[in-house]
């Protein structure tokens, strides 16, 4: 998130705090897609996810008078969205759905090219197998490691932003992401050595 973007968000928040509904509508339009992606990591049913997005924005609107500029608006909003989704899962006694990722993403995340880009039947098969292994590895992570990893790698949030969203120290975020990457790499290494 750029400083300019954050400054625009803060201006909009101040307008909302003064009663400007159009400013809040602009924030909703700006962030509804990102919030939906985030909530969908917890709830796979689209209609339920959309309901949770709406609930997130209602909670944000009601809490807007209490928003202090201690964090960026979107990290504050993400925290509300995550808490809303987690509370829903607790209430319904469900687990978050499995992630769906592709190998191109995982190659970038893990900082290595595991399969050559030449499309051969063998490489296609290896790519499909590797995608499956990585997907299983990410989904097998404990929730706190998986969420820190996903916020970093999918949403490209900084460690500081993730710490705000997850309400934990930056060192804890770094540790969780390190442990998540380590676990994923171990799974890949064990698969490749077979």
8-state DSSP, 47: H
For residue 115, the model assigns a pLDDT of 43
Provide the token pair at 87: 């509370």
CB 180 within 8 A of CB 148: yes
CATH of 3-92, one of 3.90.45.10, 1.10.10.10, 3.20.20.70, 1.10.1740.10: 1.10.1740.10
Q: pTM here?
A: 0.65
Q: Which residue's entry shows tokens 């796979």?
A: 44
What residue spans define the domains of the chain?
A: 3-92, 103-192
For residue 52, the model assigns a pLDDT of 94
Cβ-proximal residues to 155 (8 Å cutoff; 6+ apart), any chain: 34, 37, 38
For residue 194, the model assigns a pLDDT of 64
For residue 97, the model assigns a pLDDT of 54
CATH of 103-192, one of 3.30.470.20, 1.10.10.10, 1.25.40.340, 1.10.230.10: 1.10.10.10
CB burial readout 128-162, b (16+ within 10 A) else e:
eebbebbbebbeebeeebbbbbbbbbebebebebb
Q: How many residues are given for the chain?
A: 194
Cα 20 to Cα 24: distance, rounded to the nearest angstrom: 7
For residue 50, the model assigns a pLDDT of 94
pLDDT digit string (tens) for the chain, length 194 residues: 567 888 899 999 999 999 999 999 999 999 999 999 888 888 888 899 999 999 999 999 999 998 887 788 988 999 999 989 888 888 877 655 555 554 444 444 444 444 445 567 766 776 777 778 877 888 888 888 988 988 888 778 889 989 988 889 999 999 999 999 999 888 888 877 76
For residue 94, the model assigns a pLDDT of 62
């Amino acid at each position: 998130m750029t400083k300019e973007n954050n400054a625009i968000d803060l201006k909009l928040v101040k307008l909302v705090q003064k009663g400007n509904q159009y400013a809040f509508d602009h924030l909703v339009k700006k962030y509804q897609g990102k919030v939906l992606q985030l909530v969908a990591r917890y709830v796979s049913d689209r209609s339920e996810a959309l309901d949770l997005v709406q609930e997130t924005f209602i909670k944000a609107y009601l809490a807007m008078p209490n928003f202090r500029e201690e964090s960026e608006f979107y990290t504050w909003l993400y925290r509300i969205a995550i808490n809303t989704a987690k509370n829903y899962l607790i209430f319904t006694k469900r687990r978050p759905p499995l992630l769906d990722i592709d190998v191109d993403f995982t190659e970038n995340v893990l900082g290595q090219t595991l399969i050559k880009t030449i499309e051969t039947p063998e490489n296609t098969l290896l790519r499909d197998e590797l995608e499956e292994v990585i997907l299983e590895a990410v989904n097998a992570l404990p929730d706190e490691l998986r969420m820190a990893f996903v916020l970093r790698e999918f949403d490209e949030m900084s460690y500081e932003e993730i710490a705000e969203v997850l309400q934990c120290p930056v060192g804890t975020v770094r540790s969780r992401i390190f442990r998540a990457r380590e676990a994923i790499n171990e799974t890949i290494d064990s698969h490749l050595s077979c």
